[in-house]
Structure 1
Amino acid sequence: MKFMIIFWGIFLFFFCVPFPIFIYMMSEDLATEPRNSLAVSYGYLGFSLLIWLYILAFFVNNLFIKTFKQKNTIHSILRNGIPREAKVIRYQLLKYIPKTNMNVIQVVLSFPNLRNTMIEHEMMFHDSRPQEKRFDAGNTVKVLLNPDVSQEPYFILNDQKVGFNTSGMILRTAFIILLIAYIIGLYYYFYMRESFDFGWRFLTFMHPIIFSGVMTIIYVLVFQLISGKFFKNKKEEQILFSGRNAEAEIISVSQTGLMVNDQPEIKIQVSFKDFRGKEHIAVYKKIVSLLNLSSVPKYGRIEILYDENDPGKIMIPKIF
């Protein structure tokens, strides 16, 4: 994971910072006359400012605001969370950190959700008291459910501690400062270099002031798309922690034709009755490993979870 973060960080830096400037310097002659009318140039200037303000807001939101919101949410759960007894189904030691005497572990917990439906959830965290062996398979631990499933996290351990990683916050702050310095430097350098008393009339779409921002926007959008495909599905998580269970009849199972990392996406159409007795037909899509494809049930009945307020939205916790 760290390697991927470093790789994509370098990718972002190269294609969004030196690459547009290098291409511009190599392909553009230094113009001593205005390239655009006053109206067009100020249009480009306003467009560039909107791009960079959006980029700055995106990183501030993801690096700071979401972190503070999550901390406040955890404090709220500690005060108002719904207690549950969770059984440890599976335990895996990922890494031991001698300096802090902590284990990085991955466990699968089984406990009732907000609708008292038994669910299983996998989580990874730092165990600060490994000598107590609290998370060995078969043990029970206390958890608190978040009564508001519109906010993450959806549950926490009963004795979870809340705090900030000081080094991480310093790095985030340094990144934002460097980003602001880069934006200001970009405008200052090219204005001093190319304005020639004509103001911003040297701006074009391919100018680094604009194109560098456009490349960063593309990177942000691609990152959001990739994270939506490969990381946890927020809607599914909400259904898992607040959904009602039902027994559904499988209508059809097929492949959608979409492949992600050579793994096929399947579509399962089911019919079921909600807790009011009303019948619904819903479709569930999921990326499935080729090794598990043959284990996907093609007919019969299957346990599902559905959104009480929108029964057309379902998830199948155990697809095979």
Structure 2
Amino acid sequence: MKFMIIFWGILLFFFCIPFPIFIYMVSEELATEPRNSLAVSYGYLGFSLLIWAYVIIFFINKLFIKTFKEKNTIQSILQNGIPRDANIIDYKLLKYIPKENMNLIEVKFSFPNLSNTVIEHKMMFHDSKPREKRFAIGNKIKVLLNPKVSQEPYFILSDQKVGFNTSGMILRIVFLVLLISYVIGLYFYFYSRESFDFGWRFLTLMHPIIFSGVMTMIYVLVFQLIFAKFFKNKKEERILFSGRNAEANIISVSQTGLLVNDQPEIMFQVSFKDFKGTEHIAVYKKIVSLLNLSSVPKYGTIEIMYDENDPKKIIIPKGF
């Protein structure tokens, strides 16, 4: 997995930076005459500045602002979080790190959510004290729920430490400095090489100043699109950590025709009454493994969780 991330990162880097410059250098002849009118050239210049500003702001937000916000959120939960006793119902050792005497583990907890509905949730983290066996199955541990369900994380361990990874922050700073230096160098180099006292009238849509920015922006948009697939899961987690449970009657169960990694998507239509006694009909779509397809209930009742503020938003927390 790590190799694939590095591979695609290098590939995207190639198509965003050296590739547009290389194509331009081998296909375009150095023009000593203006290529565009003054108005068009300044239009291209403004367009390129907007693209690069968007790219730089995106990385500043992802690499720094979001990190500082998450740190502040964790500190707020440590001070104002709602305490819960969590039962450990499953434990998996994913990796042992001998250099730091640390385990990478996946633990499944069971605890009451913000509405006092007992839920189950998996969490992957590093255990810095593996000899204490604090996360053995059957043990209890204190967790703190985030009272603001619109923010992540939704819960943390009560003794969780918060801080920055120094080497990671240095790498982020170096990356941002290199990106800004590349953009400034791009403008400076081609202006010095091609302006010939005509200003920015050498710019075209396929010029590296613009094309490199467009390719980088496409990379950013693809990145956001990939992560957008996880937004649904985040919405489901919000319901999991703040919603109420109910027993729902199954109206219909059918396949939508959509396959995700060759696994079918199943659509459930159910009816249920909320805690006030009001009846609702809701639809929920869930990806089900082919191995578990036969265990999907077709009729009867099923346990759901719903959003108290919008009962038509539901999840089926139990897997098949």
Q: Into which bin does the TM-score normalised by the smaller protein fall?
A: over 0.9
SS at match of 1:310: coil
C-alpha distance in 2 between matches for 1:201 and 1:126: 56
Following superposition, the deviation at residue 110 of structure 1 comes to 0.6
Equivalent residue, structure 2, for 1:69: 69
Alpha-carbon distance, 1:266 to partner: 2.1
1:296–1:319 Cα contact (<8 Å) kept: no
Aligned amino acid, residue 296 of structure 2: V
Partner of 1:123 in structure 2? 123
SS of 1:311's partner is coil
Cα gap change, 1:76 to 1:42, in 2 (>3 Å): same
CA distance in 1, matches of 2:84, 2:141: 9
- The 3-state SS of whatever aligns with 1:298 is coil
- 2:304 match: 304
Q: Verify: 1:284 aligned to 2:284, yes or no.
A: yes
Residue 245 of structure 2 corresponds to residue 241 of structure 1:
no
Contact 1:84 1:143 in 2 (8 A): yes
| 1:196 match | 196
TM-superposition CA deviations, 1:251-310 (whole Å, max 9, x none):
222222222222222222211111122222212122222222222222221111111111
1:263 matched to which residue of 2?
Answer: 263
d(CA) in 2 for partners of 1:309 and 1:194? 60
Aligned-residue CA RMSD (Å): 1.4
Matches within 5 A, 1:59-208: 59-208=59-208
1:283–1:232 CA distance, 2 compared to 1 (3 A): closer
Write the letter of the residue equivalent to 1:296. V
Change (3 A) 1:110 1:97: same
Aligned-partner SS, 2:312: strand
User: Does the C-alpha gap of structure 1 residues 101 and 154 become closer, same or farther in structure 2, counting only changes over 3 Å?
Assistant: same
Structure 2 match to 1:293:
293
Alpha-carbon distance in 2 for matches of 1:53, 1:40: 20
Q: CA deviation at 1:63?
A: 0.8
3-state DSSP class of the match of 1:312?
A: coil
Work out the CA distance in 1 between the residues paired with 2:22 and 2:258.
37
Name the count of aligned residue pairs: 320
Identity %: 82
Task: Give the AA of the match of 2:192.
Answer: M
Alpha-carbon distance between aligned partners in 1 of 2:266 and 2:149, rounded to the nearest angstrom: 27
Q: Which amino acid aligns with 2:202?
A: F
Matched AA of 2:51? I
* Change over 3 Å in CA distance of 1:257–1:208 after alignment to 2: farther
Other-structure match for 1:35: 35
Cα deviation, residue 247, structure 1? 1.2
Residue 46 (structure 2) pairs with residue 46 (structure 1): yes
* Alpha-carbon displacement from aligned partner over 1:137-164 (angstroms, at most 9, x marks no partner): 1111110000001111110001111111
1:19 alignment partner in structure 2: 19
- The range that moved more, 8-17 or 147-156, is 8-17
2:229 is paired with a residue whose SS is helix
> TM-score, with normalisation over the residues of structure 1?
0.96
Shift of 1:232: 6.9
Other-structure match for 1:315: 315
Cα deviation 1:112-161 (Å, max 9, x = unaligned): 10000111111100111111101011111110000001111110001111
Does 1:219 find its partner at 2:216?
Answer: no
Question: Aligned pair in 2 of structure 1 residues 222, 288: CA closer, same or farther (>3 Å)?
Answer: farther
The one-letter amino acid paired with 2:250 is I
- In structure 1, distance between residues paired with 2:62 and 2:50: 18
* CA distance in structure 2 between the aligned counterparts of 1:284 and 1:28, rounded to whole angstroms: 54
Where 1:36 maps in the other structure, the secondary structure is coil
The 3-state SS of whatever aligns with 1:177 is helix
